[in-house]
Chain A
Amino acid sequence: MAVSGLLFIGFVLGHMYGNLKAFAGEESFNEYAHHLRVLGEPMLPYSGFLWIMRVGLILALIAHVASAVILARRAAKARPVKYAVKKNNGSSISSRTMRWGGVTLLVFIVWHLLNFTIVKINPSNGDTGGDNPYHLVVDTFDTWWMTVIYLLAMVALGLHLHHGTFSSLQTLGLTGSAVSRARARAAGWVVAIVVAGGFSLVPLFVLVGIIEK
């Protein structure tokens, strides 16, 4: 769980950085998308790197979701009778919403892939396919409700990362002192804000018209 989670963190950080290329304009964004596909050539075939990433991410996702399901089922079995009254004193909202947050993210990821990778649905005109990623992005986020969905997903992602970052470090046994624990908590905040914030910039700027075709 921790390993796959950390892998995701690495991925979303890279991914977010890539998205910010949208600020540099159509050309450099599309070049970046193209670059991803030719990375490693000629050692790797066209899209080879991307496929390694994809396979890695899919395996990690399977591992991640499977562990999540196992943990959730163990938890349910460990407390078959619920409390009539239960207060939370020591936990963050993020830590208590990992499971629902995770499901939200999963649903989002599916939609996200349909939107940008697999079917390439352009919500503004219903077209599919197309090969100008930059246009697809701008068209998508010009649609207000797409931006809202996306932003909500980023809230979920931020929460998930806030606890996930700390939690994975703790799970790996890297938070053995009060100081290291405080650092891991801080890292949770930083990762959550940077990633969720960073991802949110592009859609917001598209919506208000700063980034445009």
Chain B
Amino acid sequence: MNLTLKIWRQAGPNDKGGLHTYQVADISADMSFLEMLDVLNEQLNEKGEEPVAFDSDCREGICGMCSLMINGEAHGPEVTTTCQLHMRSFKDGDTITIEPWRAEPFPVVKDLIVDRSAFDRIIQSGGFISANTGSAPEANSVPAPRDKAMRAFNVATCIGCGACVAACPNGSASLFVGAKITHLGELPQGQPERWSRVVDMVGQHDHEGFGGCTNIGECAAACPKEIPLDVISQLNKDLRTALKNGH
């Protein structure tokens, strides 16, 4: 198939960017979206134009490195990551607009690449269980109810990609934070730090400049790992309990 691409190009964090139009031809339906961009880049390189910078690493939907707003949808039209999106989701002659994640706490580094280190700082603020190496008790000494462990796992599958922020009209990262709060809060090991964790993580979230959640639901619809909206409810509940108890 032949496609018209409108791609955001921006030389560096402080440069002005804009949409540039490119044509690609003979794209096979079996290609992944990023392989289609590889083809474009090879073409640009040949012409002596600098290739488009975009992030990817595992290319199998698990590392969370890839991003891209594709025709106004985070990770494109399917419920998956951009690297797992295939060209059979598009038609010959389509025009595809490709933009970076847009959020103040995710500044553009170059072209389609943004800086998501705000997520790391949110984890640093409390997204962990303090258990020094060597201090752990025998693993089966504390059973964890299976349903809770399952819920913990289901939300622990968050890949930290940032699509939730990109899709949210408020630029909020509540889905990401809620997923971690729920993951750790559902496990017996996560209880001792449960209340301080939620207060600290929400504090860091706001400090980074993410917007406030108004429960619109674009995040969950964009999430490639289908993290459900109820983690935000859990986040709010834990926060309310924590504040009530003076944390």
Contacts and interface: CB of A to CB of B under 8 A. Distances in A.
Nearest to A179: B230
A70 B209 CA distance: 13
A24 interface: no
A90 B218 contact: yes
Contacts of B214: 71, 95, 98, 167
Given A75-B212, A85-B99, A96-B169, A176 B237 contact: yes
Contacts of B232: 170
A170 B233 contact: yes
Q: Is the interface of B mostly helix, strand, loop or mixed?
A: mixed
A83 B211 contact: no
A64 to B, nearest CB: 13
Contacts of A70: 212
Contacts of B84: none
B171 A91 contact: no
Given A83-B69, A176-B230, A181-B230, A89 B218 contact: yes
Interface residues of A, number: 37
Contacts of B97: 84-85
Interface residues of B, number: 44
B240 interface: yes
A210 interface: no
A172 B99 contact: no
Contacts of A82: 102
Contacts of A96: 169, 216
Interface in B119-175: 167, 169-172
B24 interface: no
B217 A91 contact: yes
A71 B211 contact: yes
A74 B212 contact: yes
Contacts of A171: 213, 215, 236
Contacts of B240: 172-173
Contact of A78 (B103, B230, B234, B237): B103
Select the residue from B209, B214, B221 with max chain A CB neighbours within 10 A: B214
Nearest to A168: B215
A95 B99 contact: no
A80 B17 CA distance: 14
Contacts of B8: 84
Contacts of A43: none
A125 interface: no
Q: Which of B19, B71, B167 has the most CB of A within 10 A?
A: B167
Interface string A165-209: 011001111111110110000000000000000000000000000
B73 interface: yes
B111 interface: no
Contacts of B239: 173
Contact of B72 (A87, A170, A178): A87
Given A78-B171, A175-B233, 12 more contacts: A71-B212, A83-B72, A87-B72, A90-B167, A90-B219, A91-B218, A91-B221, A95-B214, A167-B214, A171-B215, A180-B230, A181-B230
17 contacts: A71-B214, A75-B169, A75-B172, A75-B211, A78-B103, A79-B211, A83-B99, A95-B217, A98-B214, A163-B216, A166-B215, A172-B236, A173-B239, A174-B233, A175-B229, A176-B237, A181-B230
Interface of A: 70-71, 74-75, 77-92, 95-96, 98, 163, 166-167, 170-178, 180-181
